[in-house]
Amino acid sequence: MTKRPAKQKLKKFQRLPTHHIDTSVILEPEKTDDGRYCKKYLNLVGYKYRGFLSFPVLGELMYKILKLDDTGKRYDALDLIYSLIKTKKIRFRSITGTEKIVQKIKEIDESITPMDRQILACAIVHKVKTLVTLDKRLISNKNIEKEFKIQIKHPKELI
């Protein structure tokens, strides 16, 4: 069996559907039904999907980690996220140029929280195909999906 050249592997990886991963997908405990779906979905990232995290998502993750009182748990959480990012080849996205989109999202659906507006706007600006989340206000929000030509899916829809 011959190995594919690195260039071929990179091209194949770059053709994978792009997904922006919401904080909830990473933080959901594995013992819940949603958590089991999240784990299965995250196992596909890097192989079936290209994963991205926005700076707002990274900020939420860091906030949750820093709130942990136990130093060992803080280090474990950081290590887990670092490992996930490295092994799944997850990349980062900035929030540059999202102001008008955030405002438009608010006009379409005021129930979406300010942080979720930022996360969604980042996915839209970077032309990511799908936002993966557990947030019920976002999942299959037809008005948002139609306006911005983005899919908003629960992890179970992608496994």
Dihedral class, residue 133 (left if φ above 0, else alpha if ψ from -120 to 50, else beta): beta
Between CA 84 and CA 81 the distance in angstroms is: 5
Residue 92: domain span: 17-158
Domain membership of residue 12 (yes or no) is no
Asked if the structure places residue 9 within a domain, the reply is no
Residue 139 lies in a domain: yes
Q: Do the domain assignments include residue 8? A: no
Distance of CA 35 to the CA centre of its chain: 14
Q: Is 11 a domain residue?
A: no
Q: Has residue 38 been placed in a domain?
A: yes
Residue 1 lies in a domain: no
Report pTM.
0.88
Q: What are phi and psi of 90, to 5 degrees?
A: -75, 135
* Per-residue pLDDT in tens (0 to 9) along the chain, 159 residues: 556 677 777 677 788 999 999 999 999 999 999 999 999 999 999 999 999 999 999 999 999 999 999 999 999 999 999 999 999 999 998 888 899 999 999 999 999 999 999 999 999 999 999 999 999 999 979 999 999 999 999 999 999
Q: What is the number of domains present in the chain?
A: 1
Q: What is the pLDDT of residue 96?
A: 84
Give the domain CATH number at 149. Answer: 3.40.50.1010
